[in-house]
Amino acid sequence: MTRIEHLKIRRTIRRQQLREMVPLADSTIYEMEQRGEFPRRFALSPRCIVWDLAEVEAWLMARRAAPIRRAKHPDVSKRKSRPIKERDQARPAT
């Protein structure tokens, strides 16, 4: 990295701007940051927390490019309350 590139000021965004770009709950973003799955925030002052705009945009582009693995559906037949009935039971005659 050259001296000029090192001195280049990168744009930052505050929480409200991040919410407009990434429609996730604050707690979800925080948990993803802790796991290393989302760009880390940093403090400009004790009361001003920001994210690097370029890092957030790169994260969004990576999410757009990669398919999201969906969670498997739960096995509802193993529920303790309100278990589903077996489908092959014969219906009573009316």
Question: Which tens digits make up the pLDDT trace of 25-77?
Answer: 999 999 999 999 999 999 999 999 999 999 999 999 998 888 777 888 878 77
Instruction: Indicate the number of domains in the chain.
Output: 1
| Residue 72 within any structural domain of the chain | no
Q: The domain containing residue 42 runs over which residues?
A: 3-65
4 contact partners, CB below 8 Å, separation of at least 6? none
Q: Where are the alpha helices (DSSP H) in the chain?
A: 3-7, 15-21, 26-35, 53-65
| Residue 22 within any structural domain of the chain | yes
Q: Please, are residues 10 and 50 in contact by the beta-carbon 8 Å criterion?
A: no
Q: What's the whole-number mean pLDDT along residues 2-8?
A: 60
